[in-house]
């Protein structure tokens, strides 16, 4: 494993085209997202016009091949986009993340040619996707899901409820996991593609959240919702494999989101401590403040190397599960600690909603929870190290 890490680490330095891409996405975020971030947070709603601009920019279809209307980029490009957008607003960052690292990746890897022809051009143009695994009694124990799919003619009737589904309000297509054979346990789990508007499917309660409030998190309801067999993603009974392998990639995306958040908090802090004066000079000239800033900057840079390394490993086609768990765990810890220190260094101003780091602090908490809790990541890391 050390040789693999070393080989990928040599590639963590960005190529010129990657620098241009990352910077152009950040420039877009700074110009188009920043003015909307506070209002979207207060109203807990993503701007439809902003979503349209994201599609026009091409960041909602990064890995979709050009033949389907996408950008034809790499997974690493997706990670750079999520990082750059999250530096301004992690709510928009998770919209871009789920679209690219979960839904599009799953369609590219597991979809039939028919599925790709049907959905990828739509996702390159204006369609948003959602990944629907979690349920009330199925969180970290993901395969304890109770949503059922019963064979009916040339299709399956899905019945059950999904909770905490990102993009629930905006999505046009949903990758839904249901069990067609509960007696077989997780080997009965199958992944289906459900279109919005399918009879028997509806979006339920929208959650009122602590952070990433502009990102919709919803309950999904399936009541005898019939989908054709051609809408199965992967093969019957292999949905657990679709879920596991897709989430391994998605965790790198969350790492990128938390990296961007931490970098954003650091950006605000550097600017503030240069301007804020106490005892006759900028507080950034006090050694105690400088030491705190140095710790923040170091933690952010370590996070960046972990995230980039994991993404490079994935693109190189070598095992990356351990590194993905590491970057997801560590980035979420750093995002919270850096955002917290940013509030401290902003003083009383950091505690009011007018200050942007207040929002980033609230946004950071989810990083330790979704797409695998911190404890689940630690368990994965330990088991892989021990060879268990």
Domain extents for the chain?
2-128, 130-237, 240-386
pLDDT in tens, 285-298: 999 999 999 999 99
**CATH superfamily of this structure's domain 240-386:** Butyryl-CoA Dehydrogenase, subunit A, domain 3 (1.20.140.10)
Q: Provide the 10 A C-beta neighbour count for residue 343.
A: 20
Q: Smallest Cα–Cα separation from 309: which of 86, 92, 24, 14?
A: 14
Pick the CATH number of 2-128 from 1.20.140.10, 3.40.50.10490, 1.10.540.10, 1.20.1050.10: 1.10.540.10
> What's the pLDDT score for residue 12?
56
pLDDT tens digits along 68-94: 999 999 999 999 999 999 999 999 999
Sequence-ordered list of residues with C-beta below 8 angstroms from that of 142, at least 6 positions apart, any chain:
133, 134, 243
* Residue 97 banded pLDDT, cuts 50, 70, 90: very high
Q: Which residues pair with 195 in a beta bridge?
A: 173
252 contacts 101 by C-beta, under 8 angstroms: yes
Summarised one tens digit per residue, pLDDT across range 156-179 is 999 999 999 999 999 999 999 999
> Can you read off the two tokens belonging to residue 206?
């929208």
- Please give the CATH number for the structural domain made up of 130-237: 2.40.110.10
Separation between Cα atoms, residue 124 and residue 105, nearest integer Å: 13
Q: Residue 200 CB: number of other CB atoms within 10 A?
A: 15
pLDDT in tens, 301-312: 999 999 999 999
Is residue 6 scored above 80 in pLDDT? Answer: no
Distance, first Cα to last Cα, the chain:
15
**143: pLDDT confidence band, cut at 50, 70 and 90?**
confident
In order of 109, 257, 259, 266, 316, the CA distances from 87 in angstroms are 29, 8, 8, 10, 26
Which range, of 44-58, 135-149, 226-240, 367-381, averages the lowest pLDDT? 135-149
Pair 342, 118: CB distance under 8 Å: no
Whether this model's pTM surpasses 0.85: yes
b or e along 155-191 (b: 16 or more beta carbons within 10 Å of the residue's beta carbon)?
bbbbbbebbbbbbbbbbbbbbbbbbbeeeeebbbbbb
> Alpha carbon of 86 to those of 23, 32, 100, 154, 170: distances in Å?
13, 13, 14, 43, 19
Burial pattern 249-281, b for ≥16 Cβ within 10 A else e, equals bbbbbbbbbbbbbbbbbbbbbeebbeeeeeeee
- The catalytic site residues sit at 371
Query: How many angstroms separate the CA atoms of 191 and 178, rounded?
Result: 7
């Amino acid at each position: 494993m050390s040789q693999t890490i070393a080989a990928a680490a040599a590639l963590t330095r960005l190529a010129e085209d990657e620098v241009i891409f990352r910077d152009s996405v950040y420039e877009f975020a700074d110009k188009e997202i920043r003015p909307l971030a506070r209002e979207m947070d207060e109203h807990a709603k993503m701007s439809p016009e902003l979503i349209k601009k994201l599609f026009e920019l091409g960041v909602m279809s990064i890995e979709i091949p050009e033949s389907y209307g996408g950008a034809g980029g790499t997974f690493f490009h997706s990670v750079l986009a999520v990082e750059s957008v999250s530096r301004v607003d992690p709510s928009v960052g998770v919209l871009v993340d789920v679209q690219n690292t979960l839904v599009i990746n799953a369609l590219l890897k597991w979809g039939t040619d028919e599925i790709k022809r049907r959905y990828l051009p739509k996702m390159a143009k204006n369609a948003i996707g959602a990944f629907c695994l979690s349920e009330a009694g199925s969180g970290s124990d993901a395969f304890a899901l109770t949503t059922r799919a019963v064979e009916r003619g040339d299709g399956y009737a899905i019945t059950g409820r999904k909770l905490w589904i990102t993009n629930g309000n905006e999505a046009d297509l949903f990758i839904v996991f249901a069990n067609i054979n509960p007696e077989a346990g997780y080997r009965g789990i199958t992944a289906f593609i459900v279109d919005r508007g399918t009879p028997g499917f509806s979006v339920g309660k929208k959650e009122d959240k602590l952070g990433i409030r502009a990102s919709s998190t919803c309950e999904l309801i399936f009541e005898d919702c019939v989908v054709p067999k051609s809408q199965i993603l992967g093969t019957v009974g292999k949905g657990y494999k679709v879920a596991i392998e897709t989430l391994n990639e998605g965790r790198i995306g969350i790492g990128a989101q938390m990296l961007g958040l931490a970098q954003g908090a650091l950006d605000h802090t550097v600017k503030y401590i240069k301007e804020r004066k106490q005892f006759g000079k900028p507080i950034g000239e006090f050694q105690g403040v400088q030491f705190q800033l140095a710790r923040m900057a170091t933690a952010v840079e370590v996070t960046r190397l972990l995230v980039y390394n994991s993404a490079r490993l994935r693109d190189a086609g070598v095992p990356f599960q351990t590194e993905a768990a590491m970057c997801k765990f560590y980035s979420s810890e750093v995002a919270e600690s850096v955002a917290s220190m940013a509030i401290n260094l902003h003083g009383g101003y950091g505690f009011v909603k007018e200050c942007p780091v207040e929002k980033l602090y609230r946004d950071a908490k989810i990083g330790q929870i979704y797409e695998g809790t911190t404890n689940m990541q630690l368990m994965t890391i330990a088991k892989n190290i021990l060879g268990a």
